[in-house]
């Protein structure tokens, strides 16, 4: 898979309502996003930052939702103070480490936390461009991923299945 503008992620109060509302919207404006099974995790995240998470899979730009479930965590506090909003946009590539190196050579910093990973998804690594450089927009950089049977998988898994 080549580099691509992968998704827009919305921070929402009620993920089930957001899914219902966007099913109605996408059914008119981009029905292709409703063809594959919704990727949905009732309990997703790292450490204390637990979320409900959903994605309408697409060959184009996907719509994602995050609903913070843990009071007092950064995403919970952000939602309380700013309300529902676009949390980030994401670009994927076969190897996020290479992209980070290329950005470093272009003098574009990433966030101080560096590259993250989820032990439950060893194929996935991600980070964010430092918002000072992206004009306040949180820009995620991640390894390619695919939707397989309502879950995320390594992009190679989907290619092997013929997706």
What SS3 state is found at 32?
Answer: helix
SS3 content of the chain, % helix, strand, coil (to 5): 30, 40, 30
Q: Are 84 and 55 in contact (CB under 8 A)?
A: no
Rounded Cα–Cα distance for residues 29 and 75 (Å): 29
Residue 103 confidence (pLDDT): 95
Q: Domains of the chain: which residue ranges?
A: 4-161
| Mean pLDDT over the full length of the chain | 90
CATH architecture of 4-161: Roll (3.10)
Q: Which residues are CB-contacts of 129 (< 8 A; sequence separation ≥ 6)? A: 103, 108, 109, 110, 111, 139, 141
Looking at the predicted structure, is the pLDDT value of residue 125 above 60?
yes
What SS3 state is found at 67?
Answer: strand
Rounded Cα–Cα distance for residues 15 and 114 (Å): 28
What pLDDT, in 10s, does the model give residues 34-50? 999 999 999 988 788 89
Looking at the predicted structure, is the pLDDT value of residue 162 above 70?
no
The arithmetic mean of pLDDT across residues 75-83, rounded, is 96
The arithmetic mean of pLDDT across residues 69-78, rounded, is 95
What is the sign, positive or negative, of the torsion defined by CA atoms of 21, 24, 25, 31? positive
The arithmetic mean of pLDDT across residues 117-121, rounded, is 85
Looking at the predicted structure, is the pLDDT value of residue 89 above 80?
yes
């Amino acid at each position: 898979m080549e580099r691509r503008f992968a998704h827009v992620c919305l921070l929402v109060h009620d993920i089930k309502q957001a899914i219902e509302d966007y099913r109605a919207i996408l059914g008119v404006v981009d029905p292709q996003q409703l063809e594959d099974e919704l990727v949905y995790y009732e309990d997703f995240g790292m450490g204390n930052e637990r979320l409900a998470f959903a994605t309408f899979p697409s060959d184009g730009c996907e719509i994602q939702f995050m609903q913070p479930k843990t009071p007092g965590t950064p995403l919970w506090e952000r939602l309380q103070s700013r309300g529902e909003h676009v949390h980030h946009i994401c670009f994927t590539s076969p190897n996020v480490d290479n992209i980070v190196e290329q950005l470093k050579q272009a003098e574009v910093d990433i966030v101080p936390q560096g590259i993250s990973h989820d032990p439950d998804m060893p194929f996935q690594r991600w980070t964010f461009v430092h918002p000072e450089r992206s004009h306040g927009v949180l820009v995620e950089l991640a390894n390619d991923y695919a939707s397989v049977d309502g879950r995320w998988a390594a992009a190679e898994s989907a290619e092997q299945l013929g997706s």
